Amino acid sequence: MRKKINFGFSMVILIVAAALIFPCHAMAAGEIKIGVIYPLTGGAAAAGRELKAGAELAAEIANSVMPDIDMTMAKKAGIQSLGGARIKLIFKDHEGNPTLGADLAKKLILDDKVDGILGCYFSSVTKTVSAVAEQYGIPMINGSSTSPGLTERGLKWFWRTTPHDKWFTKDLFELLKGLKEGKVKGVPAVPAGDLKSIASACEKTEWGSHVSGLIKDLAREYGYTVKKSLLYAAKSADLSSEVRSLKAARPDIMLFASYTSDAILMAKTMKAQKITAKIIWGQDAGFEKPEFRKTLGKDIEGILTRTVFLPKVVDLKPLAGQVNKLYKAKTGNDLGGASARAFTGLQTWVHILEKAGSTKPEDIQKVANAIEIPGKELVVPWAGIKFANPGNEMGQNILGSGLIGQYQVGPDGKIGLEIVYPFDVASANMIYPFKGY
């Protein structure tokens, strides 16, 4: 009898000790489920493949020990504060449909019991998905949607790591200002009278409509005349009339916000109609995808695109080169703006979970609102990640920044992107003016 009592008492001691050492939410190594909602089919499927590969690579690094990668999450296998729990990604395809995105978010929360959400690239889908996450009190991190309004809604369960279009579009106008001031590498100061007018064509979505408005606002601020501002139907079969209208306006600068299939069609149509604007700039998205470059080749030489990552970043950040090597082995392509931001979004999830030591939404929320991830941990050339809280842009990373790249033909005869802005990290002389067709 005495032995049984001692044995039972000993078991109680062991259980109590285990509970003290390993809190109930971190006792056993298991899985942390993150629902990831991207456009895996449809007109933006190319971007979806990049996004998916970027998130998958971040999860692989987080779940493994990769001593050659100089970031904290590569030194541990799983989330150590949760007993080594591994990240499991559950992908869903929103097809560019906001209503479908919302339905998928509900299924991930109610059926798959995810601990959080990552997505959704399309700002219109991110808007509906984040509303569902807010309804159920499930944390959502957005790495790649850039409509400014997403972080102006006062949501308590939504955080965005990427800079948004106000920042990116302002970068373009700062580049134009730099052209006139002689700050652009390889270009003598451009007379102010050479760059006065703008025409824009943006897809008629949450994202494109915001970009169109920002172009008008910043044009006024920087002293430009907007001669034409078009909103066109996304996934168009023909953009001839839109390009004719832009051409008829005879602008010095043409600006676009288009996803992949539209960006390719727009560029083909501009060539067919022999567009001669001095500056052609795309708001990332389709203008930065590998398919854009591979389909159009040297025809896009001189076109500008904003982004947050270019292969030339590896010359500035050795860490970016380490991760880019893994990504290229995985996909055959270099990291781009979409894949690098998806990687960074998932990496942010890892840092928050590690610090929280919990999958309870309220614990994640508390950590996300206070966390600061230094820039040295990131593949993107940002100062870091720190979310505004509270404020007019609640949940917005305030330490991000953008790049502007220009398509140029390299010494190897291949078309690629060179950094032209910021001026202090320019990787090549800028081609100005655009050569025309």
* Residue 250's CATH number: 3.40.50.2300
Q: Would you say residue 244 lies in a domain?
A: yes
Q: Are 126 and 98 in contact (CB under 8 A)?
A: no
Structure tokens at 227: 């001669």
pLDDT tens for 236-254 read 899 999 999 999 999 999 9
For position 14, what pLDDT does the model report? 39
Within 8 A by CB and 6+ apart from 58, the residues are 73, 342, 343, 344, 345, 346, 347, 350
For position 44, what pLDDT does the model report? 86
Instruction: Assess whether 228 and 344 both reside in one domain.
Output: no
Q: Would you say residue 143 lies in a domain?
A: yes
Asked if the model's pLDDT at residue 119 lies above 60, the reply is yes
- Residue 172: in which H helix or E strand, if any? helix 165-181
Asked if the model's pLDDT at residue 10 lies above 80, the reply is no
Q: Would you say residue 436 lies in a domain?
A: no
For position 432, what pLDDT does the model report? 97
Q: How many CB atoms lie within 10 A of CB 25?
A: 16
Instruction: Assess whether 299 and 368 both reside in one domain.
Output: no
Instruction: Give me the chain's average pLDDT, please.
Output: 91
Which range of residues forms the domain containing residue 107? 24-162+315-386
Instruction: Assess whether 173 and 149 both reside in one domain.
Output: no
Q: Would you say residue 264 lies in a domain?
A: yes
Instruction: Assess whether 309 and 319 both reside in one domain.
Output: no
Q: Would you say residue 7 lies in a domain?
A: no
For position 315, what pLDDT does the model report? 87
Instruction: Assess whether 107 and 28 both reside in one domain.
Output: yes
Instruction: Assess whether 59 and 128 both reside in one domain.
Output: yes
For position 392, what pLDDT does the model report? 83
Q: Which residues of 388-413 are buried (b: 16+ CB within 10 A; e: fewer)?
A: bbeeebbbbbebbebbbbbbbeeeee
Asked if the model's pLDDT at residue 15 lies above 70, the reply is no
Q: Would you say residue 28 lies in a domain?
A: yes
Q: State the Cα–Cα distance between residues 342 and 61, nearest whole angstrom.
A: 14
Instruction: Assess whether 266 and 188 both reside in one domain.
Output: yes
Percent with pLDDT over 90 in the chain: 83
pLDDT tens for 391-403 read 789 999 999 999 9
Instruction: Assess whether 170 and 156 both reside in one domain.
Output: no
Of 367, 273, 280, nearest to 79 by C-alpha is 367
Structure tokens at 433: 């003016």
Instruction: Assess whether 363 and 220 both reside in one domain.
Output: no
For position 43, what pLDDT does the model report? 80
- Residue 368: in which H helix or E strand, if any? helix 361-370
Instruction: Assess whether 328 and 272 both reside in one domain.
Output: no
In the Cβ-directed half-sphere of 65, how many Cα atoms lie within 13 Å? 6
Q: How many CB atoms lie within 10 A of CB 372?
A: 11
How far apart, in Å, are the Cα atoms of 221 and each of 81, 226, 299? 49, 12, 32
Instruction: Assess whether 293 and 152 both reside in one domain.
Output: no
Q: H helices of 22-150, where?
A: 45-63, 98-110, 123-136
Q: Would you say residue 6 lies in a domain?
A: no
Instruction: Assess whether 93 and 132 both reside in one domain.
Output: yes
Q: What is the mean pLDDT of residues 407-421?
A: 94
Model confidence band, residue 29 (pLDDT cutoffs 50, 70, 90): low
pLDDT tens for 360-382 read 999 999 999 999 999 999 999 99
Q: What is the mean pLDDT of residues 404-409?
A: 96
For position 8, what pLDDT does the model report? 45
DSSP string, 267-317: HHHHHHTT---SEEEE-SGGGGSHHHHHHHGGGGTT-EEEES--GGGGGT-
Of 326, 351, 355, nearest to 340 by C-alpha is 326
Structure tokens at 391: 């404020």
Q: Would you say residue 220 lies in a domain?
A: yes
- Look at the chain and report how many structural domains it folds into: 2
Q: State the Cα–Cα distance between residues 32 and 350, nearest whole angstrom.
A: 10
Q: What is the mean pLDDT of residues 73-81?
A: 96
